[in-house]
A and B are shown apart, each in its own frame.
Chain A
Amino acid sequence: MKRNKNRPPITLLPMALWTTVFVAVPLVYVLGLSFMKKAATWGVVAEFSLDSYKNLLNPVYLKVFAQSFWVAILTTVFALLIGYPFAYFTAKLPKKHRSLVLMLMLVPFWTNSLVRIYGWMILLRSQGVINGLLMQFGVIDKPLKLLYTFGAVLVGMVYALLPFMVLAIYNSVCKVDWSLVEASRDLGAGRAKAFFTVTLPLTMPGVMAGCVLVFIPSVGLFFISDLLGGAKTMLLGNLIKNELLSAKNWPMGAALSIAMMAVTLLVIRLYQHFSRDQNLEGLL
């Protein structure tokens, strides 16, 4: 009996139903919600309105957008600058050390992300470890304000997302055909030149995938900026949370989510275009 290869099989049904009900429908509902009006007291009025989208252009919101993207860009750049050498050096270690290093890097990643953020809170606060040490050695005589600053948020973000960058780059460094690099060296390229003209372009897919994997979540992780930035560093994630839970303005929260999704899709499209990875295999 020959089965029909062009018909979706019945085993697919549960997943298809699940993703329709719990992914497609809620997201479409958010889209619809973003075009509705906020009710005077609670909930929404099912009436078409562009108010929420007009509101997006309000300078208060624009400022949050700008700050969010600035944090996301800085997080991505620092994760790349720190993560690339780490991934590269790890990939060139002897094989048994390689898997040990990767495991050591992933263990904190598997533990609760709040635990790790909390560790930074202890380190950074004014009576914390770093200030204590600096004062002990007489570098400073008053504690520096480290916690609840923009820098603290950045440290937390880079720290939380670095493994994504490292893994993506590591995978692509492992795939490099080193004979190409040797060839360029034989032909007289210096170490730096060989790296920038051969190795780096060969590992570009990993770099791009890593940047996307760091950039996208960094726009939405509200708890890191909440805990390390105090209330001062307002990011898009915090804003959406506040619109939903404090201001109870759901259409606004929905419009902000749609805007965030649009940016995400744009980033993914750019990635598809530049890495020629249509199926997003590098990201999964």
Chain B
Amino acid sequence: MRKKRTFLPETYVVLMLLLMYLPIFVVVAYSFNDTKLFHWAGFTFSWYQKLFHNQTIINAFFNSLKLAVLSSGLAAILGTMGAVGMAGRTFFGKGALEGLSTVPIMIPEIILGMAYLSFFSLLQVPFGMLTLVAAHTTFCVPYIFINVKASLQSLDPALGEAALDLGASRRRVFFDITAPLIFPSILSGSLLAFAMSMDDVVISFFVTGPETATLPLQVYSMLKMGVTPEINALCTVMLGTVFLLVAGARLFQSARKAKKGR
């Protein structure tokens, strides 16, 4: 039977992608618009100049960056150690611990936000970078833990056993065999955690201090107060960065594949 060829599937996929990019295109276009109003008034870079001289936004950006690096780094250590420690063992409370450690990404974020607001107030911890890092690390851990756990499960146990038989110590097996094999999963988990931390609005909203507005919080308050075209410029810069990073990662991957000869 000859299959009738329609282009419906492709058309649908392309249309949906266009729709997904529509709001993004609009933001980029308006960032070059030479007016504060909404009609098109010619091309300008002035919003970018204003943006790069806006100390509040620059500070917020560095707050976010510091926060994301600290919390995804800390979470990478905690999550990897946890996943490695759990692998291949059964002990009392294992299921409970596994469940508990994935709770932060299972429940709506606002619950965790509210929990931290009240909990840190009770302990009288001053709200600021410290509370932000604690909160972000907590929701970053699951991304790394789950990723590393899955990668450990797909690992061939014979590799480690062979090394043990040949006289390697457990420590050596871990650092020479296991660690290099699970490294990609640690990295991809940490990247995801990093992105989630950079993007978080809800939890940060509840645990931030007076001087530690993160970039998303800064954008949120600017949007709530009224629109300035600097936001368009800021958003375009953020989008551009992500596009460059993703494109870079893909180039890196395909270069590695080519090197391996596929």
Bitwise, B13-26 to A at CB < 8 A (1) or not (0) is: 10011001111111
Q: Point out the residue from A9, A105, A244 that lies within 8 Å of B17, measured CB to CB.
A: A105
Q: Nearest chain-A residue to B81 (Cβ)?
A: A11
Q: A26-B116, A227-B220, A244-B117 are in contact. List 10 more A-B contacts (CB 8 A).
A: A5-B89, A15-B78, A89-B10, A89-B12, A112-B215, A122-B23, A127-B37, A227-B223, A260-B111, A284-B102
Measured CA separation A213–B112 after assembly (Å) = 17
Instruction: Scan residues 89-112 of chain B and give those whose CB is less than 8 A from a CB of chain A.
Output: 89-94, 97, 100-104, 106-112
A118 touches B27 (CB 8 A): yes
Q: Is A202 an interface residue (CB 8 A)?
A: no
Measured CA separation A219–B243 after assembly (Å) = 30
Q: Nearest chain-B residue to A1 (Cβ)?
A: B170
Measured CA separation A3–B171 after assembly (Å) = 13
Set of chain B residues within 8 Å of A229, measured between Cβ atoms: none
Q: Point out the residue from B38, B77, B111, B215 that lies within 8 Å of A261, measured CB to CB.
A: B111
Name the distance in Å between A119's Cβ and chain B's nearest Cβ: 2
Set of chain B residues within 8 Å of A111, measured between Cβ atoms: 24, 199, 238-239, 242
A264 touches B17 (CB 8 A): no
Q: Is A276 an interface residue (CB 8 A)?
A: no
B138 touches A23 (CB 8 A): yes
B242 touches A110 (CB 8 A): yes
Set of chain A residues within 8 Å of B78, measured between Cβ atoms: 14-15, 18
Query: Which A positions have Cβ atoms within 8 angstroms of B?
Result: 3, 5-12, 14-16, 18-20, 22-27, 29-30, 33, 82, 85-86, 89-90, 92-93, 101, 103-108, 110-123, 125, 127-129, 132, 159, 162, 216-217, 219-223, 226-227, 237, 240-241, 244, 250, 253-254, 257, 260-261, 264, 268, 280, 283-284
A29 touches B118 (CB 8 A): yes
- What are some 21 contacts across the A-B interface (CB < 8 A)? A5-B91, A8-B94, A9-B89, A22-B135, A22-B138, A23-B101, A30-B111, A86-B12, A90-B13, A104-B17, A112-B215, A115-B24, A115-B235, A118-B223, A127-B39, A129-B26, A216-B108, A222-B110, A226-B224, A237-B110, A244-B117
A12 touches B17 (CB 8 A): no
Q: Point out the residue from B26, B93, B111, B141 that lies within 8 Å of A15, measured CB to CB.
A: B141
Q: Given A5-B89, A127-B37, A223-B202: A114 and B110 within 8 A (CB)?
A: no
Main secondary structure of the interface of B (DSSP, over half): helix
Measured CA separation A264–B85 after assembly (Å) = 29
Measured CA separation A179–B93 after assembly (Å) = 42
Measured CA separation A217–B238 after assembly (Å) = 24
Query: Which B positions have Cβ atoms within 8 angstroms of A?
Result: 9-10, 12-13, 16-17, 20-27, 30, 37-39, 77-79, 81-82, 84-86, 88-94, 97, 100-104, 106-112, 114-119, 122, 134-135, 137-138, 141-142, 145-146, 170, 195, 198-199, 201-202, 205-206, 215-216, 219-220, 223-224, 227, 231, 235, 238-239, 242-243, 246, 250
Q: Point out the residue from A9, A29, A90 that lies within 8 Å of B119, measured CB to CB.
A: A29
Q: Given A114-B223, A220-B202, A283-B106: A19 and B141 within 8 A (CB)?
A: yes
Main secondary structure of the interface of A (DSSP, over half): helix
Set of chain B residues within 8 Å of A118, measured between Cβ atoms: 23, 27, 219, 223, 231, 235
Q: Given A9-B89, A12-B85, A240-B110: A123 and B23 within 8 A (CB)?
A: yes
B114 touches A114 (CB 8 A): no
Name the distance in Å between A36's Cβ and chain B's nearest Cβ: 10
Set of chain B residues within 8 Å of A15, measured between Cβ atoms: 78-79, 81-82, 85, 97, 101, 141, 145
Name the distance in Å between A181's Cβ and chain B's nearest Cβ: 13
Set of chain A residues within 8 Å of B77, measured between Cβ atoms: 14
A120 touches B23 (CB 8 A): yes
Set of chain A residues within 8 Å of B84, measured between Cβ atoms: 11
